[in-house]
A and B are shown apart, each in its own frame.
Chain A
């Protein structure tokens, strides 16, 4: 066989990158992220938020925020469990110490809750030594305020 140069022989090894498993990798990644993503552990309760114009985003990691839900009838919930008013300080205190005093308490109260309930909660939080508290609100647009 006459050969003109060194490069003319066709290689028998395929020059294609094997891509048949690409879809498997994609699905694997998809499933990995679906499984490892953790959301907040308490579910949203049926609450009508109070509205405030000065609402600001809380610049804190999600794991450092503890929600206290206060329902319209005055029921208090932490991590999906109902709490008696007197037990709040005893529950929050150790959590707050464990978080190295970084915990932010978000009071998610219904707008129609009596202030007495909120006041009792803040007093419990003071007793637990908590300093940073957020009253969760919805952002109020100036337009809706003018209509009121």
Chain B
């Protein structure tokens, strides 16, 4: 072999392009198959119809009161007794209470200045416990 390679090489100097179409198709199909659009996720609730107010017996209501600083108070029906709980405890409490009363309704009353996340924490616990009768209200007074 000479230092300066003047001899014509017999190897083709072209890049083989015949498989480019295959690669393009492969990429096309790969991305078509693997693309998933992120689905919306969250906590679904059903809002009441307007003017759909139903009088509920006080003993069927579980009051969950969320203060502005995130403290959650629990009050059962008419009893004045207030119990301070952690949002994670609500799941167990609901499960326990609902076995004793099938018509139980969770009334979530949130302080107007409370961050939204505290309400979500409580709603999350109720959803986890399988509660379906939930009333979202604004804490008054």
Chain A positions near chain B (C-beta within 8 angstroms): 19, 22-23, 26-27, 29-30, 33, 39, 50-58, 60, 62, 65, 70, 106, 109-119, 122, 125-127, 129-140, 145
Q: A23-B21, A111-B120, A115-B110 known; A132 and B42 CB under 8 Å?
A: no
Q: A23-B21, A145-B88 known; A114 and B115 CB under 8 Å?
A: yes
A sample of 6 more A-B contacts (CB under 8 A), given A52-B121, A116-B138, A138-B41, is: A29-B28, A30-B28, A51-B117, A52-B127, A106-B40, A115-B119
The verdict on B58 contacting chain A, using a C-beta distance below 8 Å, is no
* Shortest Cβ distance from residue B44 to the other chain A in the assembled complex, whole angstroms: 5
Chain A residues, CB < 8 A from B25: 22, 26
Chain B residues, CB < 8 A from A109: 116
- Using a Cβ cutoff of 8 Å, how many contacts connect chains A and B? 140
Nearest to A110 among chain B residues (CB) is B116
Do the beta carbons of A52 and B124 come within 8 Å of each other? Answer: yes
Chain B positions near chain A (C-beta within 8 angstroms): 18, 20-21, 24-25, 28, 32, 37, 39-50, 66, 88, 110-121, 123-124, 127-128, 136, 138
Chain A residues, CB < 8 A from B116: 50, 70, 109-115, 117-118
> Would you call the interface of chain A mostly helix, strand, loop, or mixed?
mixed
Chain B residues, CB < 8 A from A53: 124, 128
* Shortest Cβ distance from residue B115 to the other chain A in the assembled complex, whole angstroms: 5
Chain A residues, CB < 8 A from B123: 52, 135
Do the beta carbons of B40 and A126 come within 8 Å of each other? Answer: no
Do the beta carbons of A27 and B41 come within 8 Å of each other? Answer: no
11 CB contacts below 8 A, A to B, read A23-B20, A30-B24, A33-B28, A33-B32, A39-B37, A56-B43, A57-B40, A116-B138, A132-B46, A137-B42, A137-B43
